[in-house]
Structure 1
């Protein structure tokens, strides 16, 4: 049986914390703000069908269920901003520099991937009922698959961490940012998001329709579009472009 509290369910092993959390929503057993944490995840996934691999017991593998009746379906990106800042806040408690938010859903430290976010939604008609917020953060893992530019908190600080305790802290930082969003502070949140945007004002390579091009990252719009500039200003939606070489 999982260890269960109002704030977090702790599982030894699960296919996906998002699957487990979504099942709670579908059975009307979900508690808004409650996390589902797993020591080991056998079928973790990221955006665009990618898999999320994590060594058992080494990292934070967490999903937070949150009721979303107060935000319109068209405002889904606003939640992404709040969640990314919640992840940023947690890491900022332990390291003080080189933490960046990589559009649209990654957390980078020292130009390497330290975590990722996958938000799945329950929408009925025009009503956004629940967000199932999946977060993976590399904490104590030191060996990653070849070819993956990843980094963990331990690799930066040299310290081994209690991943369950960090999961509790992450629930607090993420739900705090969501509360700020609910209280109408999105403009401030977006400003902080852009202040910490990965590669802001740098020229990067992106790929669209099998064409690779160089452009300068400027900011993210209030609707979640990536705004860049080269000979002209460009705007890109989620999944319209892919990063190259990062």
Structure 2
């Protein structure tokens, strides 16, 4: 397990991708930083994190992923993060499709995955994770929460990182088993939930996901599949 600590960087994903382009790096090479000045979120958003308070890191995956699709990679990382929070920290969490990690209906962590292919074969993935750990207030982010908010305790960042990587290493030995747990942890699974689309607000029952990663909603007794950009959760 190759862990590199950086004092500061613009984006751990960008830094890890640049290093991987320049030289061969071992599987599970991980970069983490005390300060990320331009962290990346889903759909071009920015991940905002207070300096030295949270875990912002990126992991290189090159082994045991060749038979996985991008959405299976997403499932694997999301489930691993939720399992680790539950087993190691006794923190209950769910996955808000596709990969926001919620606890008590607030965002605790986010995942950004960037994949590389050779033809149709997945050759490597760079997985960026932001986990709110010791930060106590989130200005202009009313739906954010941290481990300290939940538990009242402060945590050692590197110890948390090593614990998560150990579970990921274990789960990568049997990734398909892990991905089957995704619906078990899916936020609002089989529940009526409110959403907003370009057509306005509507309600649907969350029925899971299809193999391509679309969200399946039962709306007026009809099953519909939605892309990420087609709707937003109202919660």
Aligned residue pairs: how many?
233
User: What is the TM-score with the length of structure 2 in the denominator?
Assistant: 0.92
Does the C-alpha gap of structure 1 residues 227 and 34 become closer, same or farther in structure 2, counting only changes over 3 Å? same
Per-residue Cα deviation, 1:81-138 (whole angstroms, up to 9, x for no partner): 11011111221111243x1011012100000000000001122322322100000111
- Structure 2, unaligned stretches of length 5 or more? none
- Rate the CA distance shift 1:218–1:70 in 2: closer, same or farther, 3 A: closer
Residue 234 of structure 1 corresponds to 224
Deviates more, 1:28-37 or 1:99-108: 28-37
Q: Which runs of 5+ in 1 are unaligned?
A: 1-5
| Correspondence for 2:191 | 202
CA distance, structure 1, for counterparts of residue 130 and residue 170 of structure 2: 18
Post-superposition shift, 1:192?
1.5
Match of 1:61 among 56, 67, 72: 56
Match of 2:161 among 142, 164, 167: 167
Q: Secondary structure at the match of 1:40?
A: coil
TM-score by length of 1: 0.88
Query: Given the alignment of the two structures, is residue 193 of structure 1 paired with residue 187 of structure 2, yes or no?
Result: no
Alignment partner of 2:35 out of 30, 37, 40: 40
3-state SS of 1:204 partner: strand
Partner of 1:129: 123
In 1: Cα distance, 2:61 partner to 2:91 partner: 29
1:17 to 12, 18, 25: 12
Tell me if structure 1 keeps the 8 A contact 2:65–2:124: no
Change (3 A) 1:70 1:137: closer
3-state DSSP of counterpart to 1:179: coil
Q: Does 1:145 align with 2:134?
A: no
Shift of 1:39: 0.9
The structural deviation recorded for 1:45 is 1.1
Distance 1:70 1:197 in 2: 22
Q: CA deviation at 1:69?
A: 7.5
RMSD: 1.8
| Deviation of the 1:208 alpha carbon | 2.6
2: CA distance, partners of 1:96 / 1:142: 17
Aligned to 1:3: none
Q: CA deviation at 1:32?
A: 1.0
